[in-house]
Amino acid sequence: MESLVAWLSILVSVTLTSIALLKQRRSRPEDAKKRPPGPPMWPVFGNMFDLGSTAPHQAMYKLRAKYGPVLWLRLGYRNTLVIQSARAAEELFKSHDSIFCDRSVPLAFTAHGYSEGSLALGRYGPSWRMLRRLCSMELMTNKRINDAVLIRRKCIDDMIQYMMKDVAAARSRGEAEEIVLPHYLFIMTFNIIGNLTLSQDLLNSQSKDGYEFYNAMNKVMKWGGEPNVADFLPLLKRLDPQGLKRNMEKDLGQALGIIKKFLRERVEQKSGGQEAKNDFLDALLEYQGDGKEGPDKISDHNILIIILVKLSNYLVSSFSCL
C-alpha cells in the first residue's frame, strides 16, 4: 500500500511538472529565440536522455559537432548552459560573469544548511561575499601558507609515527601487519587543516572521533555525488524518492557533532580569559558586520557549517590526488 501511494505521488508530481513546463513554454515564446541552439526536448524530462547513462561529458561533446560550442539543454525542469570552448568560456566570464554568478544547490547539500557555508555551492549575495572576504584574508594569504611549513612537517612526522606504532602493536598481538593508508592520510590532512583553522591537532590514529568523522565524510561525499532526480523535477523534493537528503542529514549531522566539540572548547577558553589564537575560528567568532554586507554576527551553527565545509573541501582536494 505504501509503495502504491509513493508511485501515485510521483505520477501526480510528474504530471504537474509537465503542465507547468508547457505553460512556461507557451507563455514566453520569445525567450526560446534568444537561447543558444540545442537538441529538441522531451516533455518533463527535457534532454536528460540525450546525455546517455555512462559518460554525459562525451555525449555533450558529440552534440557540439551539430549545435556548436555553446549548447542549451533542459535537464528536467533545470535550464543548463553548456560551454565547450576556451573562447566561449572567456566571453562568459569576462562579459557575463555577474549574470551567471549564481548557482543552483543540489537538494542533498541543503541538509543542515551546508550550502550556506560553501563558496562553491552558496547562493551569490552579501553572505557569500562576506565569507569570501574572510577566507581570502584568513586562509589564503602567502603569510598564512608560509607559516604552515613547520605544521605540515610535524603532521607528516606524526603520521609516520602513528603508522609505526600501530604496526608494532599489531605485531605484538600476532595480527597482520597491514595498515589502511587512506586512514592515516586522512588524519594527517585533517590535522594540518585543524592547525590552520583551529590551531590544534584534531585526531590521532586511535581516535574514535577520527574513525567516525572519516566514515561520515566518506558517506557525505557519496550522497553528494550521486545524481538526484529531485534536483531536476522540483515537485519530487518533498518526497526525496532516493533518500539522498535523509542520508545526508544523518551523516552530516554526525560530522557536525564532532566539530561542535572543538567549537565548544574554544568558546569556553575565550570565556575563561585565555589568549586569542588569531586563527580562522577566532576570526569567525569575533566577526562584526556593518549591517550592509552579510549578517552582523555569524551564528554558532553557521560557524560549524563553515568550518566543516573548509575541512571537507581540503580533504576532497587532497584525496583526489591519491
More confident residue, 1 or 38: 38
DSSP assignment letter at 80 = E
Amino acid at 156: I
pTM score: 0.73
Interatomic CA distance for residues 281 and 46, integer angstroms: 45
Are the C-beta atoms of residues 71 and 41 closer than 8 Å to each other? no
State the pLDDT at residue 2: 46
Closest CA to 316 of 199, 222, 212, 252: 222
Interatomic CA distance for residues 266 and 272, integer angstroms: 10
State the pLDDT at residue 252: 92
Query: Residue 81 belongs to what H/E stretch?
Result: strand 78-83
More confident residue, 122 or 69: 69
Condensed to tens digits (0 to 9), the pLDDT of residues 35-50 reads: 889 999 888 888 888 8
DSSP assignment letter at 292 = S
